[in-house]
Amino acid sequence: MHVLELPPSTESVPAARRFVRAQLSSAHVDVDTAALLVSEVVTNAVLHARTALTLSVGEIGTVAHIEVADGSPRRPRLHAFSPTSGTGRGLRMLDQLAERWGVKVDPVTGGKVVWFDVGEPSEEAWADGSHDWLAEGVLDEH
């Protein structure tokens, strides 16, 4: 696993994306989806945990395994936001696009680790998700 320590700052989001892209550049996984999902998870950690973060990226066969650890024990939850809401869809995207994902307690810090796996590119996952996101107002058809 490759590890990057990040501060609880908005600058951590693009840094996390760059790190994921660099670590997975030669992998046979959907790097764009991995970068998008890490953006969502790191953004949630910055906004809600407000603690230092640890980003870990590794490969298990043809799957990228990514973990974002923070110091908050508060678990993320899927919410039903209105179509005009500017927030709240990151976990829905994670649920739709990741092969698997979950949350576990970090036994060292007492915080949490949000983890997810991304495999090969899947147009089907994006197509299925885009219908849901259009219905919620995430994507604009124009």
Supply the CATH number for residue 101's domain.
3.30.565.10
DSSP alpha helix (H) spans, 72-122:
90-97
**pTM to 2 decimals?**
0.82
Residue 141 is assigned to a structural domain of this protein? no
Confidence of residue 81 (pLDDT cuts 50, 70, 90): low
Averaged pLDDT score across all residues of the chain = 84
Round to whole Å and give the CA distance between 46 and 127.
29
Q: Considering the domain boundaries, does residue 142 fall inside one?
A: no
Question: Is there a contact between 41 and 112 (Cβ–Cβ < 8 Å)?
Answer: no
Give a yes or no: residue 118 inside a domain. Answer: yes
Number of domains in the chain: 1
Mean pLDDT of the region 36-62: 93
Q: How far is CA 139 from each of CA 31, 82, 111, rounded to the nearest angstrom? A: 21, 13, 33
Establish if 112 belongs to a structural domain.
yes
More confident residue, 128 or 27: 27
**pLDDT recorded at residue 60:** 87
Flag whether 124 is in a domain. yes
Is residue 116 situated within a structural domain? yes
- Residue 64 sits in which domain range? 2-136
Q: Centre a 10 Å sphere on the Cβ of residue 19 and count the other Cβ atoms it contains.
A: 20
What is the percent of the chain with per-residue pLDDT over 70, rounded to a whole number?
79
